[in-house]
């Protein structure tokens, strides 16, 4: 997708520091962090939203979650706790139309979320 900002980040057209940069998954810090650690984990493949995923994406979705797990360990969030968020669609607050997981940590979180 030529006008997708996360595709541009994944391809390197927009340079960012990448915490993960492998064949399928890219991770980088959120521009507007909502917690001391706020990382976005995206598939290299453009997928507009989680609701568009199907059986053919099951490996990819697994890789995204395991990438979050790995990063949380690296950032030493695994013991204290962390939150993974996927906003799907406008009502959920999705603002970038390329599937992404938010990995949030380094503070306590409320439940239910706002
Ligand atoms: P969502 O609201 O779930 O779609 O989340 C999109 C997130 O992308 C927001 O938290 C933004 O702060 C973040 N974001 C948008 N553009 C960039 C960018 N160029 N680099 C890093 N994070 C970004």
pLDDT given for residue 2 in this prediction: 78
pLDDT digits (tens, 9 = 90+) for 83-113: 999 999 999 999 999 999 999 999 999 999 9
Domain with 53 in it = 5-105
Cα dist. 51→23, 38, 47, 55, 66 in Å? 23, 23, 9, 12, 20
Please give the distance, rounded to the nearest whole angstrom, from the Cα atom of residue 90 to the centre of ligand 1. 14
* CATH number of 47's domain: 3.30.428.10
Q: What distance in angstroms lies between residue 95's CA and the mean position of ligand 1's atoms?
A: 7
**How does pLDDT run across 35-84, given as a tens digit for each residue?**
999 999 999 999 999 999 999 999 999 999 999 999 999 999 999 999 99
Q: Ligand 1 — pocket residues by CB below 6 A?
A: 5, 30-32, 40, 87, 93-96
C-alpha 5 to ligand 1 mean position (Å): 9
Q: How many structural domains comprise the chain?
A: 1
Contact by Cβ (8 Å): 67, 50: no
Residue 113 lies in a domain: no
What's the confidence (pLDDT) of residue 83? Answer: 98
Read off the pLDDT band of 114 (50, 70, 90). Answer: confident
Which atom of ligand 1 is the closest one to the Cα of 94?
4
Residues tagged active-site: 100
């Amino acid at each position: 997708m030529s006008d997708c900002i996360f595709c541009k980040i994944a391809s390197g057209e927009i340079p960012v520091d990448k915490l993960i940069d492998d064949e399928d998954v890219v991770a980088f810090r959120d521009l507007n962090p909502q917690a001391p650690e706020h990382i976005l984990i995206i598939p290299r493949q453009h997928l507009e939203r989680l609701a568009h995923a199907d059986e053919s994406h099951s490996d990819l979705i697994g890789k995204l979650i395991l990438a979050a797990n790995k990063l949380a360990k690296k950032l030493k969030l695994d013991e204290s706790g962390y939150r993974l968020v996927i906003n799907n669609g406008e009502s959920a607050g999705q603002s970038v139309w390329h599937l992404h997981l938010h990995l949030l940590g380094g503070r306590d979180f409320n439940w239910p979320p706002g």
